[in-house]
Amino acid sequence: MKRRHSFAFAALVTACLALVGCKEDAADNTQASAAPQQSFNWKMVTAWPKNYPGLGTSAERVAERINSMTDGRITIKVYAGGELVPPLEIFDAVSRGTAQMGHGAAYYWKGKTDTAQFFTSVPFGLSAIEMNAWLHKGDGLKLWEEAYAPFGVKPFAIGNSGMQMGGWFNKEINSLDDIKGLKIRMPGLGGEVLDRLGATTVNLPGSEVFTALQTNAIDASDWVNPYNDLAFGLHKAAKYYYYPGWQEPQAVLELIINQEAWNSLPADLQAIVTEAIRAGNADMLDDYTWNNARALAELKDADVQLRRFPNEVLNAMQVESAKVLEDLASKSDLNRRIWDSMQAFQKQITLMHEISEKELYNWRD
């Protein structure tokens, strides 16, 4: 009997000690969960007018999405182009840490690194869905990160406008002679192609395009496509609307983050921000696909004169584009690796699209 009582007493003591331990663990966990979580107040500078359709609104939506998904642990104040820094200086602002985030287009920074031009659009190159696949499933994003690493900037694809238009012209383009002497706003690699064909290209922020066309400071300008062109009223400043958008078969919009700011985020917030940006990337392409169709119908109702570039002109643009891209690839090992990777994927995916999308479009009407 005494032995049984001793065993029972020992068991009771052990149980009590275990219970005390559980209470202490629970108290520790309660204290840990009650500890305040670090919050981050960031600035996002953009290259766009405030709430500009598709571009400015995308910046606002991704900021709202990040705030909501992090339950307020990250709040982002969005600045339109010129509010905090000029539109074409946001790369420097993010690199310096003046702002933690920037929303723009990579080819605006070719003065910082010519490699950046590959990551907006390549003349006669990948489509929007193809570019997204190359960036996120192929080598694209890793190569993009490598290009921006020396500047302390981390890039993400935040959206795509889809295929663009060839631009607004105040004179008809009937031959290559009409390109010579043309003063046109066109950034990126497309602008270099036109320079080689005898045009004079300038790089203007979108907010200045209407006035430049209307006052004949320039003869022509690309901008984006019907959705954005209608919003700027470019059909009131130029007579002819040309297609196809050979210079930008798609256009990646980028969200850049200061690398030190990114590194300061805990792993869970980095994961949330990454997924919020991926959602924003899909959202923008949906936005443009839907609204381009509606805007084009409205422009046609306004008697806009749609024109297709002559084959002679397109052929010359294609030939010169190949030379421009080869010259750019030859400037560095990184450029060569990017261009080789992009070309290899384009060759592969074209085989698929020849018997899928292309056949569908040919027969759908």
pLDDT value for 16: 43
User: What is the reported pLDDT for 35?
Assistant: 54
Q: Tell me if 264 is assigned to some domain.
A: yes
Given this model, what pLDDT does residue 25 score? 52
Compute the distance between CA of residue 126 and CA of residue 134 in angstroms, rounded to an integer: 9
- Domain total for the chain? 1
How many Cα atoms occupy the beta-carbon half-sphere of 34 within 13 Å?
A: 6
Please tell me the predicted confidence (pLDDT) of residue 13: 42
In a domain, 332, yes or no: no
Q: Name the DSSP class of 194.
A: H
Specify the CATH number for the domain of residue 121: 3.40.190.170
Enter the pTM of the model: 0.87
What does the alpha-carbon distance between residue 179 and residue 32 come to, in Å, rounded to a whole number?
68
Q: Helix H segments across 121-177?
A: 128-136, 140-148
Tell me whether residue 308 is in a domain.
no
pLDDT tens per residue across all 365 residues of the chain: 444 444 444 444 454 444 445 455 544 554 444 456 899 999 999 999 988 999 999 999 999 999 999 999 999 999 999 999 999 999 999 999 999 999 999 999 999 999 999 999 999 999 999 999 999 999 999 999 999 999 999 999 999 999 999 999 999 999 999 999 999 999 889 999 999 999 999 988 888 999 999 999 999 999 999 999 999 999 999 999 999 999 999 999 999 999 999 999 999 999 999 999 999 999 999 999 999 999 999 999 999 999 999 999 999 999 999 999 999 999 999 999 999 999 999 999 999 999 999 999 999 97
The answer to whether residue 218 is domain-embedded is no
DSSP single-letter state for residue 173: -
Identify whether 197 is part of a domain: no
Q: Identify whether 280 is part of a domain.
A: yes
Question: Can you give the pLDDT at residue 72?
Answer: 96
Closest to 252 (Cα-Cα) out of 79, 137, 126, 152: 126
The domain containing residue 98 runs over which residues?
40-161+250-290
Name residues whose C-beta falls within 8 Å of residue 192's C-beta, 6 or more positions apart in sequence. 201, 324
Q: Is residue 143 part of a domain?
A: yes
Residue 226 lies in a domain: no
Q: Residue 221's pLDDT is what?
A: 96
Measure the N-to-C terminal CA separation of the chain; round to a whole number of Å: 97
What one-character-per-residue DSSP string does 262-281 give?
Answer: HHHS-HHHHHHHHHHHHHHH
